[in-house]
Structure 1
Amino acid sequence: MLNSDREGSVSKWRIRLETEKKDLELKLQKSALENNQKEILQQRYLLILTGVFISIFIILVFYLYKLYQKQKLLSEHNAILIQEQNHRVKNNLQIISSLLSLQSNQLSDSKAKQAIDESQLRIEAMAVLHRQLYDTKELDKIDMELFIHNLSDMIFDSYGIEEVELEYHINIRPLKAEKAVFLGLMINELISNACKHAFAEHPAPVLSIDLSEKNHQITMRIKDNGLKSVSFQKKESFGMKLINMMVNQLDGHLSYEFNNGSTFTFKIA
């Protein structure tokens, strides 16, 4: 009976342990299933969020592309308008120059004729600048080396001077058109002055034009090898008044010296 009771008790405990073991296994399986379901939900949420972000990114890229296309068309349209404006200004300046030439041909007074011719040269100087703006891709900037070469050639042709030794030292970035036109008018006045006074009956005329930029300061120096100081320095002359007006407009400084020729030095910040 004792053996039978012992075996019954052992069998009962064995059954109980097996039952608890199976319950524990079921709990572990249930916990693993719940964890898998949570991971599946998290992955589903992550996929949904990724899809939303990708959709927003695609919409944003499409919007930016449309905006870029619109800005590109607007820029091209503005470029065409600026080019057309420069072309019209160039044509208008040429018309004004032609009218002044016709008026000059009808004048008998030498001083009045000289004044008209000088005004025509000033207009031609601005026409050279606008011609360069129209012919190049730079819409509002001027290559000063090309501009000075074209301008000086035009002035010497106007005065019929061919045998001039020209020295150019141009080391400057392209300038805005509004600043370049002031420098161009000053160069026109100073070269015209040299043609009228310094190079008159000169056996070997030499003209030097230096234009450089350092530490945001622009320095322009125009030197001739005239044999004497010229009357252009008189402050009451129209050319000198015009130069002083442009110097003040640019907040610059102009100096003059005579040493084997006249040297005009202009500096602006």
Structure 2
Amino acid sequence: MRERGEPVHFADAPFAMARLDGGGIETAYFDYALSPLRDEDSSIAAVLNITPETTGRVVIEQRLAKAQAALAESEAKVRRRTVDLEAALNAKTLLLHEVDHRVKNNLTMIGALLRLQSRQIDDPVITAKLDAMMERIDALATVHRRLYQSDDVTKFDIAGFAESMASGVIGASGRGDIKLVVDIEPIEVQSDYAASLGLILNEMLTNVIKHGLNDGRSGTIKLSARGNGADYVLTVEDDGHGIDLDKKSDGLGRTLISRLSKQAGAKVTWDRLEPGTRVTLTMKSVH
């Protein structure tokens, strides 16, 4: 400074200082601001030294820097862990899709074998029972097909499945005099219950064809699906003969519906209409 005559500033200069209480050496930090004081002839007569201590601020900044470095390391670990979990999830999803695909293929093969066997049987009663069993197998195969085609293996759009199944059941019946009216919104349930709910819907829809609109009776099937707070409600309604609620049914279809609804935590109710029947399936949402 004496050579150039310019002020000099040292920011946060460290100094090792002995503690007065004998506690050893510790580092303190100071700002040094040196400014020349000149005589009348502009020569430097003295130096003004302003030296405030900055130890407190420097220590806080050092602690903050360490905390930020630790946070950055933690975030890096979280990102690495997230990448690993996403990779594991993708692998699990692929595996589940493969399982659903294979299950669907196996069910399709079983259905084909039953159809071959059915053609060798002349007894119409046995043939009818085999046909009903094949319809249930086809329903399960369709459930697994939709599961392996889904992006989210934890959810199952039961409303979309119901619309597809209703169209399929009517088409398989060969009945051109049955009209399907659909009014649905997406309903996602836990995929764990997909098979049970799929079988329930199969029974609901096939019952309409076999009992409500049998004997050549033309009519309309109305399919609706809506959210209702914490529950989802799916209804199948027809204008057919109508169910006799006073008559106790011991058929396999009603038995399946009763048992499967308990497994899926769902509720099925029947209402007699004039004319026809309404079957309501109430399910818990996935949210």
Contact kept in structure 1, 2:268 and 2:282, CA below 8 Å: yes
For 1:253 and 1:135, the matched residues in 2 are separated by: 28
Confirm or deny that 1:82 pairs with 2:90. no
Name the residue aligned to 2:199.
185
For structure 1, which segment, 64-73 or 136-145, has the greater mean C-alpha deviation from structure 2 after superposition? 136-145
SS of the residue aligned with 1:83? helix
For 1:193 and 1:203, the matched residues in 2 are separated by: 14
Q: How many residues align?
A: 236
For 2:234 and 2:214, the matched residues in 1 are separated by: 24
Stretches (4+) displaced over 6 A: none
Contact kept in structure 2, 1:227 and 1:261, CA below 8 Å: yes
Confirm or deny that 1:255 pairs with 2:270. yes
For 2:80 and 2:195, the matched residues in 1 are separated by: 38
For 2:196 and 2:62, the matched residues in 1 are separated by: 64
Contact kept in structure 2, 1:163 and 1:204, CA below 8 Å: yes
- Give the CA RMSD over aligned residues: 2.7
For 2:166 and 2:95, the matched residues in 1 are separated by: 29
Name the residue aligned to 1:58.
72
What is the TM-score normalised by the length of structure 2? 0.72
Name the residue aligned to 1:159.
173
Name the residue aligned to 1:96.
110
Offset of 1:110 from its aligned partner? 1.2
For 2:230 and 2:61, the matched residues in 1 are separated by: 57
Name the residue aligned to 2:214.
200
Q: 1:16-95 to 2 correspondence within 5 Å?
A: 35-36=51-52, 38-39=53-54, 41-42=55-56, 44-95=58-109
Offset of 1:132 from its aligned partner? 1.2
SS of the residue aligned with 1:74? helix
User: Which AA in structure 2 matches 1:260?
Assistant: P
Confirm or deny that 1:217 pairs with 2:231. yes
For 2:67 and 2:273, the matched residues in 1 are separated by: 75
SS of the residue aligned with 2:121? coil
For 2:177 and 2:152, the matched residues in 1 are separated by: 33
Contact kept in structure 2, 1:198 and 1:230, CA below 8 Å: no
User: Which AA in structure 2 matches 1:93?
Assistant: L
For 2:96 and 2:115, the matched residues in 1 are separated by: 28
For 1:166 and 1:72, the matched residues in 2 are separated by: 42
SS of the residue aligned with 1:138? coil
Whose helix proportion is higher, 1 or 2? 1
Query: CA 1:230–1:112 in structure 2 vs 1: closer, same or farther (change >3 Å)?
Result: farther
Q: Tell me the alpha carbon deviations over residues 52-98 of structure 1, each in whole angstroms, 9 at most, x when there is no partner.
A: 23332332222122112111211111111121121112112112211
Query: CA 1:258–1:85 in structure 2 vs 1: closer, same or farther (change >3 Å)?
Result: same
For 2:175 and 2:125, the matched residues in 1 are separated by: 21
Query: CA 1:234–1:111 in structure 2 vs 1: closer, same or farther (change >3 Å)?
Result: farther
Offset of 1:164 from its aligned partner? 1.7
Offset of 1:260 from its aligned partner? 0.9
Gaps of 5+ in 2: 1-46
Query: CA 1:169–1:180 in structure 2 vs 1: closer, same or farther (change >3 Å)?
Result: farther
Query: CA 1:172–1:104 in structure 2 vs 1: closer, same or farther (change >3 Å)?
Result: same
Gaps of 5+ in 1: 1-28
SS of the residue aligned with 1:254? strand
